[in-house]
Structure 1
Amino acid sequence: MTSFKWMLMICSLFSATNVFAVDPPIVGAAGNTVTFQAKKWTSPVVESTTAWFTANGKTFPLFHAGIGAQASPEWLSPNKKFLLATAVEYGVVIGENGEEIATSQGHCDVISMETGCVLAESYERFCEGKWVGNQWVSEEGGVLNPVLETESPKDLLKNASSIEPAQSRAESLEWSLSFLSPESYMACHPPAQNVQAYNDLGFYLAEDGRDELALKFYRGVEAVGKRTVLMLNIADSLWGLDRKDEAQRYYNQYRDAMSADGKAQKIPQRVIERTAHQGMKN
């Protein structure tokens, strides 16, 4: 019997990539662009592309590192606000004799050319069609009015909050976030409107050692404005990633903020120990 071992090719495959082509960017609303950069994986052999969104001088990936994507200029809506793209998740099937067999699952995704949000996804063949005005009509007769369908962080938390233990909860959240890049996800659900949700989301991820991903969401909240508890959470994740000098700066900011609020007695012992370590080093 064949068993499935879906690998987050995000790490194992991305580390073995090499760039071999970059297609001309697709230019949308306000001159914002999506660029597809071709990649080739050596084991298993898969050729694909990664998609990058650029607006106001800032560039970020639309999908996770293990997701291949492509699009045609004809898939850009007449008002240039939306772009359809096919995105493919790669994995491997473990055969009866233990051999690895490459496999994939495709989607048709709707990208906002204004924000870089991946608004929604459908089955792969949905991308076979045409724009009629600013509605996409598939060859099978399906009609798309581009609207946001990507699940909100509040809903993610609602679904995950009852999961125990912490490891299972973090795995569930990471899996839910394994398709879109954190940057695209936050373009769909801006941190300014989801401060508490992103802080909690990061905390749940960091709780089981997923500090790199947690930091992505913490940084999104930090760009909105510094909050005392956020400084502690950022410091803890930086410490977990062995970025201790940077972590200590955040611990100091947290400690100073707590003292200024008359809450020095509530500062966790680990903060005292880790900032004391800095003092001894200095």
Structure 2
Amino acid sequence: MASLKWVLMFGNLVAASAFAEEPPIVGIDGHTVTLQAKKWTSPVVESATAWFTANGKTFPLFHAGIGTQAYPEWLSPDKKTLLATPVEYGVVIGENGEEIATSQGHCAVISMETGCVLAESYERFCEGNWEGHQWVSEEGGVLNPALETKPPKELLKHVLNLETAQSRAESLEWSMSFLSPESYMACHPPAQNVQAYNDLGFYLAEGGRDELALKFYRGVEAVGKRTVLMLNMADSLWRLDRKEEAQRYYREYGEAMTAAGKAQKIPQRVVERSEFQGMKK
């Protein structure tokens, strides 16, 4: 009997270049969702990745290993909402250690105004049609598009009592499910969640998820530079062996602390790594 040990596609499968692109689905104000066909090496899968474009910016809606399908008829009459079926591909490990390809589908509700994945349901919920502003599934379920994706403050509440850094990071990563960081931040803008995103990034980095942490740090940085954020970004960049970029943030952090009369509180690692001569313990 196969065990239920999941290995998510985005952690274990090697993606090849996009080899095709379907015509974009055009929503309100010309915002688009584009499906780019992708091929993974193992298990053999051909599927599309979903990209949202608005105001000259493009970002993925889901994690890199999520295959997605959507159709123009799944776009609401007012062009504000699109349904899509993201699928997590993975493997279960058989009793003899063999990898057995498997998948798990969802029905996602996407805001064509922001690129936020508002909510998700079971895959068959996407079988239905729009009746005015409501989506009615073939099974009789009714969707009134509304934000159900939990805010970062709520995610943080569930990890504060976890004992290890790794368990906190794993819990946060799992709580955000299959969404890309960019789509998650489209749901909960950094400008309204500065401290929460800084804390979320810190817990992710503390548990070894520096690449993911940097996504959220960058979101906060776009709102405005903050002293603690610069140190957190520098530490993650340093661990990722992006030393030159890390040194720049260490120097900026040191300069900000010195200007604020807090030079004595600068950690020794900052002095050592930044090579900023004006900083003294």
TM-score (norm. length: structure 1): 0.96
TM-score (norm. length: structure 2): 0.96
* Letter in structure 2 aligned against 1:170: A
Structure 1 residues 67 and 278: alpha-carbon distance in aligned structure 2, compared to 1, 3 A threshold: farther
1:26 corresponds to which residue? 25
Deviation readout 1:104-134 (Å, 9 max, x if unpaired): 1100000000000000001100001000001
- Structure 1 runs of 4+ aligned residues shifted over 6 Å read none
- 1:195 matched to 2:173? The reply is no
Structure 1: runs of 5+ lacking an equivalent: none
Q: 1:178 & 1:140 partners in 2: Cα distance? A: 25
1:122 corresponds to which residue? 121
1:67 corresponds to which residue? 66
| 1:278, distance to aligned residue in structure 2 (A) | 8.7
2:4 aligned counterpart, secondary structure: strand
| 1:273, distance to aligned residue in structure 2 (A) | 1.1
1:2 corresponds to which residue? 2
Structure 1 residues 49 and 136: alpha-carbon distance in aligned structure 2, compared to 1, 3 A threshold: same
2:268 corresponds to which residue? 269
2:165 corresponds to which residue? 166
1:16 aligned counterpart, secondary structure: coil
The total of aligned residue pairs comes to 278
Bigger CA drift: 182-191 or 32-41? 32-41
| 1:98, distance to aligned residue in structure 2 (A) | 1.4
Conservation of the 8 A alpha-carbon contact between 1:38 and 1:48: yes
Conservation of the 8 A alpha-carbon contact between 1:64 and 1:178: no
Deviation readout 1:233-256 (Å, 9 max, x if unpaired): 111111111111111111111111
1:156 corresponds to which residue? 155
Aligned residues: CA RMSD: 1.3
Q: 1:275 & 1:222 partners in 2: Cα distance? A: 20
Bigger CA drift: 123-132 or 18-27? 18-27
Deviation readout 1:172-222 (Å, 9 max, x if unpaired): 112223400000000000000000000000000111221110000000000
| 1:46, distance to aligned residue in structure 2 (A) | 1.5
1:65 aligned counterpart, secondary structure: coil
Q: 1:168 & 1:80 partners in 2: Cα distance? A: 40
